Amino acid sequence: MRQLFLLLLTFYGIAVHCFSQSQEWAPIGAVWHFQEDDWLSSEYSSYVTITVVGDTLIHGKPCRIMKKSGRNCADRELEDYTYYEEGVVYWYNKYVDQFTVLYDFNAQAGDQWEILMEDCSAQVSVVSTDTEVINGEVLKVLNMSFDGPLGGKITERLGHQPYLFPRIRLSGWCHIICDGRYSNGLRCYQDAQLGLYETGLAENCETVISSIEKGIPQQELLVYPNPASDWIEVKFSPFHPGELSIFDYKGNLVKQFSLNSAGQAIDIFSLSPGYYFLRLLAGNESPLLKKLFIY
């Protein structure tokens, strides 16, 4: 009887230790709100949520069950599974029945790791590291190369700010080309310990944004290529001389140009990779917006 009691006590201690480690990442009840846009329609902008709804064991690992409110472009299942161990977040890839490193918060500038995506793998690279204070808590930040599937900013507790998970492989590519609805940045994160954090990407967590273009179908702003790396061609029809402004995802004005012809090449080589918004003011018409991704 005493041996059974010690055995149960040991098992309980191991379970508490394992699940307490997971609480630094994705505690039960945590919710992410991501903005959802559509490459094919500027009249659509809404949100999707990912909620931690419980625990489960996979290959003996104590995983969090992360349930999505919907499936967008090239997404996986409506549920994903992750676990946290010694500063590393592991993600379960059901297609190969293996865990793969999703985020490594022990990493330093220059470090790399591979993420399994179906039957191929994609490499991610750390460009630099930093810290950020959110609601009084100091969190580590990984700034990632845009050459891989997790380009941009990864923050402790919050994860990858464009979207938590990499996309599934399409048409033989590990790097996804998405032409449907896609997640376009973190709006909010909330858990019982950290509280509510809003990035300012939207008015609030659940705002459904109406397009500025809606209601003026006679006007059209074309930008290509998109995504782009060093230049873009901007066309506006019907043409009026106007002013084109480029804003980063935080709303900061980063470039401004005068448009003097119906088609004009714009140099964007000096802009860092990431998401941007273009605003065109021409004549007495309402402003037009366009999303731009620079890689």
Domains of the chain: 2-198 (no CATH), 220-294 (2.60.40.3080)
Interatomic CA distance for residues 103 and 100, integer angstroms: 9
Cis omega (within 30 of 0) on the bond before 238? yes
Q: Which of 146-155, 230-239, 283-292 has the largest mean confidence? A: 230-239
| Per-residue pLDDT at 285 | 62
Backbone angles phi, psi at 203, to 5 degrees: -60, -40
Cβ contacts of 113 within 8 Å, gap of 6 or more: 101, 104, 107, 123, 124
| Per-residue pLDDT at 247 | 87
Query: Higher model confidence: residue 175 or residue 291?
Result: 291
Stretch 142-149: mean pLDDT: 78
Looking at the chain, the whole-number percentage of residues with pLDDT higher than 70 is 74
For residue 75, CA distances in Å to 101, 119, 122 come to: 18, 16, 16
pTM above 0.75, yes or no: no
Whether residue 143 has pLDDT greater than 60: yes
In our burial notation (b when 16+ CB lie closer than 10 A, e otherwise), range 45-58 reads bbbbbbbbeeeeee
Q: Where does the pLDDT of residue 50 fall: very low under 50, low under 70, confident under 90, or very high at 90 and above?
A: very high
What's the pLDDT tens digit per position in 80-105? 999 999 999 999 988 889 999 999 99
Q: Where does the pLDDT of residue 6 fall: very low under 50, low under 70, confident under 90, or very high at 90 and above?
A: very low
| Per-residue pLDDT at 18 | 40
Residue 71 structure tokens? 């499936």
Q: Cβ distance 143 to 129 under 8 Å?
A: yes
Interatomic CA distance for residues 159 and 254, integer angstroms: 26
Residue 204 structure tokens? 């609030």
